[in-house]
Structure 1
Amino acid sequence: MLISLPISELKPGMFVDRVNRQVAGAAIKIKTRGMVRDPAIIARLHKEGVEELTVDFAQSEVAIPRHLQPTTAPSDTPKTPTKSSEDMPAKVSVSESTQASLEQEFLIASTCYEQSQGKLRAMFHDLSAGMLVNLELLCDIADAIVDSVFRNPDAMAALTLLRDQQSYTWRHMLNCAILTAIFARYLGYEMNKVRQMALAALLHDIGLAKVPQGILSKAGRLSELELKAVRKHVALGLGMLKGQKHITGMMLEMIVNHHERLDGSGYPRGLGADKLSREARILAIVDVYAAMIADKPYKQAQEPLGALRYLMAQQDLFDQALVQRFIKCVGIHPIGTLVQLTNERLAIVVQGNSDNPIRPKVRVFYNTLHRHHITPKDIDLSRTKDDIKITASTCGSDFDLNPARLLKEHLLP
Structure 2
Amino acid sequence: MLITLPVSELTPGMYVDRVTKQHEGINSIKIKTSGMVNDSSIIKRLISEGVLELLIDFAKGDVPVPSKYKSQSKHETFNSQQQVTKTSIVITLEQEFAKASVNYDQHGRKLQSLYSDLTSGLTINIKALDEIVSEIVNSVFRNPNAMTILTRIKDKHSYNWRHMINCAIFTAVFAKYLGYEKADVQELAMGALLHDLGQAKLPQGIFSKPTKVTNNELTAIKKHVAQGFGLLKGEKRITPLMLDMIVNHHERLDGSGYPRGIEANKLSRPARIMAIVDVYDAITADRPHQDGDEPINALRYLLANKQQFDAELVQHFIKCLGVHPVGTIVKLTNDRLALVLEGNKLNPIKPKVKLFYNAKHKHQVTPKDIDLNENAQGLKILASVKPLDYQINLSRLLKEHLLN
Shorter-chain TM band: 0.7 to 0.9
1:224 to 212, 215, 235: 215
Residue of structure 1 in register with 2:347 after alignment: 356
Residues 356/73 of structure 1: CA separation in 2 closer, same or farther (3 Å cut): closer
Residue of structure 2 in register with 1:2 after alignment: 2
| Cα shift at 1:361 | 1.2
Give the structure-2-normalised TM-score.
0.85
2:144 to 135, 149, 153: 153
Residue of structure 2 in register with 1:113 after alignment: 104
1:389 aligns with 2:380: yes
The C-alpha deviation readout for 1:76-125, integer Å capped at 9, x for no partner, is xxxxxxxxxxxxxxxxxxx4x21111111111111111000000111121
Which residues in structure 2 correspond to 1:74-153 (within 5 Å)?
A: 95=87, 97-153=88-144
CA–CA separation in structure 1 for the residues paired with 2:276 and 2:119: 28
CA–CA separation in structure 2 for the residues paired with 1:243 and 1:301: 36
Q: Is the 8 A contact 1:338 1:396 kept in 2?
A: yes
Residue of structure 1 in register with 2:49 after alignment: none
Residue of structure 2 in register with 1:307 after alignment: 298
Runs of 4+ in 1 over 3 A off after TM superposition: 1-7, 9-21, 33-37, 51-54, 61-67
1:405 aligns with 2:396: yes
The C-alpha deviation readout for 1:58-90, integer Å capped at 9, x for no partner, is 522459955432112766xxxxxxxxxxxxxxx
Residues 54/408 of structure 1: CA separation in 2 closer, same or farther (3 Å cut): same
Q: Is the 8 A contact 1:363 1:379 kept in 2?
A: yes
Amino acid at match of 2:314: V
Residues 36/121 of structure 1: CA separation in 2 closer, same or farther (3 Å cut): closer
Structure 2 gaps, min length 5: 22-30, 39-51
Q: Is the 8 A contact 1:57 1:188 kept in 2?
A: no
1:265 aligns with 2:265: no
Q: What SS class does the counterpart of residue 72 from structure 1 fall into?
A: helix
Identity of aligned residues (%): 56
Higher normalized helix content (fraction of residues): 2
Paired residues, number = 371
CA–CA separation in structure 2 for the residues paired with 1:17 and 1:392: 43
CA–CA separation in structure 2 for the residues paired with 1:164 and 1:35: 38
| Cα shift at 1:394 | 1.4
1:167 aligns with 2:158: yes
Residue of structure 1 in register with 2:83 after alignment: 72
| Cα shift at 1:144 | 0.5
Give the structure-1-normalised TM-score.
0.83
Moved more, 248-257 or 380-389: 380-389
Q: Is the 8 A contact 1:263 1:272 kept in 2?
A: yes
Residues 11/152 of structure 1: CA separation in 2 closer, same or farther (3 Å cut): farther
CA–CA separation in structure 2 for the residues paired with 1:74 and 1:365: 34
Residue of structure 1 in register with 2:178 after alignment: 187
1:254 aligns with 2:245: yes
1:329 aligns with 2:329: no
Amino acid at match of 2:57: D
Amino acid at match of 2:148: A
CA–CA separation in structure 2 for the residues paired with 1:412 and 1:66: 38
Residue of structure 1 in register with 2:27 after alignment: none
| Cα shift at 1:55 | 2.4
Residue of structure 1 in register with 2:57 after alignment: 56
